[in-house]
């Protein structure tokens, strides 16, 4: 017994855009029976958004002068 593929709204792509990997996983489990290609694309988009977020955070941390000199603790 196979799954019947039906078209779902493209608004599901907003979930991984705003929530990253968690949103991609949620969208995947909701869409996997109705629209498997869109479910996989939402999961991939969530992974990509997570990678972009990590790279963006590393760039921001690298540009803060306090972190460039080292992470020493003065007590």
Quote the pLDDT of residue 7. 81
Give a yes or no: residue 5 inside a domain. Answer: no
Give a yes or no: residue 71 inside a domain. Answer: no
DSSP character for 3? P
Quote the pLDDT of residue 68. 57
Quote the pLDDT of residue 6. 77
Give a yes or no: residue 69 inside a domain. Answer: no
- What is this structure's pTM? 0.76
Provide the number of structural domains found in the chain: 1
In degrees, rounded to 5, the angle at the alpha carbon of residue 21 between the alpha carbons of residues 17 and 27 is 70
Helices (H) and strands (E) in the chain — how many of each?
4, 0
- Domain of residue 56 covers 10-63
Confidence of residue 44 (pLDDT cuts 50, 70, 90): very high
């Amino acid at each position: 017994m196979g799954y019947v593929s039906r078209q779902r709204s493209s608004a599901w792509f907003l979930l991984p855009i705003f929530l990253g990997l968690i949103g991609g996983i949620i969208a995947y489990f909701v869409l996997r029976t109705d629209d498997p290609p869109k479910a996989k694309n939402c999961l991939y988009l969530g992974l990509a958004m997570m990678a972009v977020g990590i790279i963006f955070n590393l760039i921001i941390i690298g540009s803060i002068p306090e972190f460039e000199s080292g992470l020493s603790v003065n007590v």
